[in-house]
Amino acid sequence: MNPNDKPKQHYRSNQAIIWDDTMQQAQVALWQELGKSSFLHAVLDVLEACVPVDSSGLLVFYRKQKPLSLAHRFKPFERHLHADIYSTGPYALDPQYQLFLKGCPTGAYWLVDVAPDDFYQSSYYTNFYSKIGVADSIDVLWRLDDDTALNFFMQRNANSNAFCRADLHTLQLMLPLLDAALTRHHQLASPPP
């Protein structure tokens, strides 16, 4: 058989995580901070190394009580409401929080995929979302159990470009590594029974 007669293999391009100095440093810090109080900030560093953002932070979502804010990283842009206002009531209408209540698994969730069709006419958008300067968001949710999850939020403001499918895909590529690190951290940081 002539080698030229073989059927050609069709390869597709893979999207990949850019492993630059920022990502390398973030990964090293992630594993060095396991079991320490600074670990969750190291997770945010890894997420921000994957996908550039204007702001990010961490909330603990609970089924039976209001979310707990653990970290906010707001880069300079105008916010018309204080960061902690979310936990005073708007969270109940947040499409990401509603997704959590429905029992979604650990994963990365882009607002355009989870928001209802009338999101921009909703009271949540009118009374809260439009006033904080955010134009787009992706949340990385890590389930602790049925009633609790860590919610790492990543946001872009109105003066930045929106997220795209490649951003979501990049975060999804990082999820298995983050899941392993978060699981191990939770084992180390939780007191034995």
pLDDT digits (tens, 9 = 90+) for 53-104: 999 999 999 999 999 999 988 765 555 545 567 777 788 889 999 999 999 9
Half-sphere exposure of 80 (CA within 13 A, CB side): 10
Other C-beta atoms within 10 Å of 55: how many? 22
Tokens of 67: 């979310």
* Buried residues in 99-114 as b, exposed as e (16+ CB within 10 A): bbeeeeebbbbbbbeb
Span 32-59, pLDDT tens digits: 999 999 999 999 999 999 999 999 999 9
pLDDT class of 168 with cuts at 50, 70, 90? very high
Q: How many residues does the chain have?
A: 193
Which pLDDT belongs to residue 18? 85
Nearest to 55 by CA among 89, 87, 91, 83: 83
Distance CA 187, CA 190 (A): 6
pLDDT of residue 179: 97
The pLDDT of residue 177: 96
Would residue 109 be called left, alpha or beta, if left means φ above 0 and alpha means ψ between -120 and 50 degrees?
Answer: beta
What is the predicted pLDDT for the residue at 86? 76
Cα–Cα dist 154/53, whole Å: 6
**Whether the Cβ atoms of residue 142 and residue 182 lie closer than 8 Å to each other:** yes
Sign of CA dihedral 14, 19, 20, 26: positive
- Is the pLDDT assigned to residue 14 strictly greater than 90? no
Contact status, residue 52 vs residue 155, Cβ threshold 8 Å = no
Tokens of 78: 């105008």
Asked whether residue 13 carries a pLDDT value surpassing 80, the answer given is no
